[in-house]
Structure 1
Amino acid sequence: MTIDARSVRTDRLSTFVREAGDPSAPVLLLVHGNVSSSVFFEELMEDLAADFHLIAPDYRGYGDSERKVVDATRGMADFSDDLAALLDTLGVEGPVDVLGWSAGGNIALQLAIDHPGRVRRIVLEASGSPYGFGGTTGLEGRPVAADFAGSGGGTANPEFCRAIAEGDRGDGPTSPRTTLRSFYVRPGFTFDPDVEEKYVDGMLRMSIGEDVYPGDLTPTDTWPGVAPGTTGTNNALSPKYLDQSVFARLDPVPPVLWIRGADDQIVSDTSMFDLAQLGRLGVVPGYPGEEVCPTQPMVSQLRTVLQAGGGEVTEIVYEECGHSPHLEHPERFAQDVREFLLR
């Protein structure tokens, strides 16, 4: 099986795309997560190429795609519009199936919301909450603070951002490699060394700054001292700009297969990347308490929105699995996806 890798110029930007499978087969669009690239899908593409025409682009500013400002005030719409433009340029007609991993799940939902004719079925892999990342509570995604403090560009660890910008390939506590080993997968999971290097490459090949990742920030007197800015990926994931609960009101609601790991530390009802959870654990100082700044139940929020739509929703939880089921349980994941999309 050969993966064709090339840049495709659309009317929005130059998008780097990995493509595999028979062009006459059903299209499956693969959308990667934050701080990654389409290289993370190469093994999955090998597993699925016999059944699908696979299209795996890099986000704007990620991997080998063109660096362009992410307008966070549109939520995830810059990314979903980029995908729609790519499908147009590739001459893909009719609805496609979409698999979104982590923040890619939010992009898949946005594509269905803004371009409903484009999406037939959705596979959500460890998808983020429809109310974004940080700054909300309750099943209905109620904002914790009026200025949405605790979400946006200021929530990223600056040492982690610096490590990416400097091309850090080491195993220090804030390095991309350590983050990959400790959070992208369940601690204790080991990669083939060559594969790990490829994934570290994918993490390092992204733009660091206010325009792409993590984005700008707004200082605030509200704990933890940062509120969202207006540009960059993490601001696009702020609930100030992102509310995808309207997905439940689509007609029809696309069938959804939702696969997640039981040990996911990134997208969780007790996420180790939620500043409120870190404050509750004493990692971030000055925490005002659960009554003032409750944690975000990310998984429960997503389940509530999916169930509200009344459509077909299949939730599968993999035991002994972190944030990347397709990396940790590749054969099972490919088979679950194949069965869902081909039935």
Structure 2
Amino acid sequence: MKVLFQARPDIMKNPAGDTVQLVSTGQGLKSLGVEVHFSADSNLDVTPYDLVHIFNITRIKESYMFFCNAQKQQKKIALSPIYWPPNAFLNREGNHSNALAVWKHMQPMRARLVRECQLLLPNSEMEMNVLQQDFPETASHQVVPNGFPDSFIGAAPDLFREQFPDIPEEFVLCAARISPRKNQHWLARISQELGLFVVLLGPVNDRAYFQDLSSFSNVHYLGTLQGKLLASAYSSAKAHALPSWFETPGLSSIEAGACGTVVISTDQGSPKEYFQDMALYIRPLDDQSLRSALEQSFQASPQPLMHHLQQHYPWSNISKITLEAYQSLLLQ
């Protein structure tokens, strides 16, 4: 089988959750014998491929162009929407941009992809429910969850502690791109009130927002960590907090939980489908919910969630589900 992946041209330069999903899916499929190629060329000759897999309809312009090109060439299209309505985030207090109007203006483009692709691959049934609420017609679907690297199983704190000996023994970790949607400023403020040390990991997407975060004396930024060092960082933390405005469900939450860390997650999006009652949930900007979750995290056991995630969500498992979805699509 020969598959073409298409996604925003800056997916490697400006990494985010869609980057991890695309790269991890591709690596897993290659290990199963699938020939996977990536291109951000919206005029590419897609004749050599059995199907085209497009990622992310949040940034819809490029995905729409990929879709039109593949459809024109009568190629079967699988779509990973990575979709959640951002209305609450875009309407938040102090946000005076026209971002919500732009989002709504682009909805007809998203609607066409959701309707006319051959197979939707949402990350959860909750995501699919939201797609069905927002768009009157949807293609058939197969849930393909997000996952974590198999190599993270058995992660230990030693490597992280050796490399960063000055980090306090007890700290709260947040691994996510530094941006208002991830809501790290709120985490920093409430953690400071509680006397908790916060370690931030991830690329800086918003420089002004990062400067505001840097003013907190309890916050330490370590840049972007990968592989075994990232897994070790997760296993070193008392808790991993992802207080975002929404997540589907938050790759770093899955990774942290699989490494044996207590997970504090936003309750907006699809996290509860993955973590069930084994994580601590917070509502964005509800100070008491975050304060309570941070306090509870130091007594909570990470073991139930770790075992659940390790059983169901390694990328090796997800790759098999993806391949099965492709096979069913090609039989249509």
TM-score of the two chains, using structure 2 as the length reference:
0.36
Query: Greater Rg, structure 1 or structure 2?
Result: 2
- Structure richer in strand, relative to its length: 1
TM-score of the two chains, using structure 1 as the length reference:
0.35
- Structure richer in helix, relative to its length: 2
The structure showing larger relative contact order (alpha-carbon pairs under 8 Å, at least 6 residues apart) is 1
